[in-house]
Structure 1
């Protein structure tokens, strides 16, 4: 049993991690939040409302905590400053382990909105705390919007956003780069379960890689046809075309979208060093299982 605090645990990937930790019935759990999370409080979670601009408040909230897991959204200078303050508060409070807010892949140098992640990662490495960052590839949940069964579960931490690259509701698919390039995809719920499992490890590696499935976008298109009976209209977009698009004047959301596609095309979402074998359970859901569960009525 460890005392663990999840910063940003009231929504998104943080909430999936909180749910997974609660399910273990092992750990003393605190959620650090800007607002009171009444629903989690009713489940026995200790809620600490903080001002992320105050290192003193954060240190007070984290006293007695063994492990801090950051799920602060990583977009913009304000969130970078908030996470750096969280790290400093953890150091002052005597926290032993720290997880920065990553939850994607090795593409911080490509995606503008992820630039702050690298600043935080460098600070974490020099903090003197034990640490790991979780690398899980693309969230499988990006293919949940508009599904025909259990949409809330299908979307998970990806709530409120459009489908990415492959839109089964619209019947379209964009394949970036070489159609044979593999990507790692992992459900956010499975990310949560693996994070919860790693709390029991006596020693952390600097990076923890989680793989739900590993396949190409073209293979996902094939599964959509085979499992769901959907014939998707496919558009291929090569690396050179993506780089040309990104050289233009794009609004922030478009730029983010194409930078993620470029990251996938360049193999930045592909890896094979796994944390998974450390844990025979939980077994993550495959893409085929995910499509069958949420895009068919069988």
Structure 2
């Protein structure tokens, strides 16, 4: 048993990771948060309110922690600065392991708002701490908005957001590329379970790649038809189409982020071979087909 500190563990994918670690009953948990979290405190979790601009405050909050897992918000220079402060505090506090906030794919050079992640990653690599970064592909939860059953579970941390690429409810699909590109898709709840399992590994690889399922968008379209009984109205955007959109000057930050994510998928950045699945064979992630059966199939 070790003490695990999760920065940003009160919401988003951090909350799924916290719950998965809690479910193992094997580790002590600290959650770093900018505000009090009475719901987590009621579960026996040690919540420490921190200012991410203060290395000293973060160092004090990490006292006794063996592993630090960052789930800080993914976007912008402020997040990178907070993560770098967290990393420095982890070093000063004498922690052994550090996980930077990634939770996506190898697209930091394509997506502007992820550029700070690369700065953090390079600093982590020179930190002399044991480290890994978790890569999990596209969140399966992005296909949950408007589902027929158990929407809270279907969405996980993907709440109050529109469907991404596949909108089952509206019967539409916006597909980057020609639909034949493989993509890794993983439920955030399963990401949490893999992270919790990885805490037991005696040694970490630099890259911990997770795959809930590996499919193509063409296969997903057929799954929606076969399981949900819906024919999707499909629009395809090639790499050239996406580059043309991104070369325009009329996109706001959110639109640019969206089309850059689509471009990264079309370029194959969400296609990789998993590594952590074989190290943690007892973790059985949900497939895309089972996700649609669980949340979208009408009885």
For 2:269, the equivalent position in structure 1 comes to 268
Distance in 1 (alpha carbons) for counterparts of 2:74 and 2:259:
18
Q: CA deviation at 1:169?
A: 1.2
Q: CA deviation at 1:63?
A: 1.3
Answer whether contact 2:7 2:71 (CA < 8 A) is retained. Answer: yes
For 1:277, the equivalent position in structure 2 comes to 278
Distance in 2 (alpha carbons) for counterparts of 1:95 and 1:240:
46
For 2:124, the equivalent position in structure 1 comes to 124
Answer whether contact 1:17 1:196 (CA < 8 A) is retained. Answer: yes
Q: CA deviation at 1:46?
A: 0.3
Q: CA deviation at 1:178?
A: 2.8
Answer whether contact 2:228 2:298 (CA < 8 A) is retained. Answer: no
For 2:247, the equivalent position in structure 1 comes to 247
Distance in 2 (alpha carbons) for counterparts of 1:273 and 1:96:
25
Answer whether contact 2:66 2:95 (CA < 8 A) is retained. Answer: yes
Distance in 1 (alpha carbons) for counterparts of 2:180 and 2:243:
19
For 2:219, the equivalent position in structure 1 comes to 219
Query: Does 1:286 pair with 2:264?
Result: no
Q: Secondary structure at the match of 2:215?
A: strand
Distance in 2 (alpha carbons) for counterparts of 1:259 and 1:140:
18
Q: Moved runs in structure 1, 4+ residues, more than 4 A?
A: none
Q: CA deviation at 1:234?
A: 0.4
Give per-residue Cα distances to partners, 1:181-228, cap 9 Å, x unaligned: 000000000000000000001100000000000011111111000011
Aligned length: 298
Q: CA deviation at 1:157?
A: 1.5
For 2:54, the equivalent position in structure 1 comes to 54
Map 1:153-172 → 2, pairs under 5 A: 153-172=153-172
For 1:295, the equivalent position in structure 2 comes to 296
Q: CA deviation at 1:170?
A: 1.1
Q: Secondary structure at the match of 1:164?
A: coil
Distance in 2 (alpha carbons) for counterparts of 1:213 and 1:131:
25
Give the alignment's Cα RMSD to 1 decimal.
0.7
Map 1:25-174 → 2, pairs under 5 A: 25-174=25-174
For 1:237, the equivalent position in structure 2 comes to 237
Distance in 1 (alpha carbons) for counterparts of 2:133 and 2:111:
17
Give per-residue Cα distances to partners, 1:148-170, cap 9 Å, x unaligned: 10000000011121110111111
Distance in 2 (alpha carbons) for counterparts of 1:128 and 1:63:
18
Q: Secondary structure at the match of 1:258?
A: helix
Q: Secondary structure at the match of 1:157?
A: coil
Gaps of 5+ in 2: none
Q: Secondary structure at the match of 1:158?
A: coil
Q: Secondary structure at the match of 1:236?
A: strand
Q: Secondary structure at the match of 2:157?
A: helix
Q: Secondary structure at the match of 1:116?
A: helix
For 1:203, the equivalent position in structure 2 comes to 203
280-289 or 98-107: bigger deviation: 280-289
275-284 or 130-139: bigger deviation: 275-284
Q: Secondary structure at the match of 1:148?
A: coil
Q: Secondary structure at the match of 1:173?
A: strand
Q: CA deviation at 1:67?
A: 0.1
TM-score, normalised to structure 1's length?
0.99
Q: CA deviation at 1:274?
A: 2.2
